[in-house]
């Protein structure tokens, strides 16, 4: 049984594949994840959401094999 892991998506990506990877991990539409992330950024201020995305780019590994 394969363990489910969070990766940056290489096929569902706009910028770095973070939202696409989260969408694949939770089996939901990546566009919905992008919309939720955008709303969080707008309502909490630009800096925390942007910083979280930048950190996620370095912490979440890129999926090498599809």
| Domain boundaries along the sequence of the chain | 18-59
pLDDT tens-digit readout, 36-48: 999 988 988 888 8
pLDDT tens-digit readout, 5-30: 889 888 888 888 898 899 989 999 99
Q: Whole-prediction pTM value?
A: 0.80
Q: What does DSSP assign to residue 27?
A: T
Output the CA angle 4-21-54, nearest 5 degrees. 120
Highest mean pLDDT among 28-32, 49-53, 59-63: 28-32
What are the backbone angles phi and psi of residue 30, rounded to the nearest 5°?
Answer: -60, -25
Q: What does DSSP assign to residue 18?
A: H
Residue 63 burial class via C-beta count within 10 angstroms: exposed 0-12, middle 13-18, buried 19 and up = middle
């Amino acid at each position: 049984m394969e363990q489910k892991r969070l990766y940056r998506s290489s096929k569902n990506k706009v910028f770095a594949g973070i939202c696409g990877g989260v969408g694949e991990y939770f089996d939901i539409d990546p566009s919905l994840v992008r919309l939720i992330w955008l709303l969080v950024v707008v309502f909490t201020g630009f800096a925390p959401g942007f910083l979280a995305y930048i950190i996620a780019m370095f912490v979440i590994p890129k999926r090498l094999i599809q």
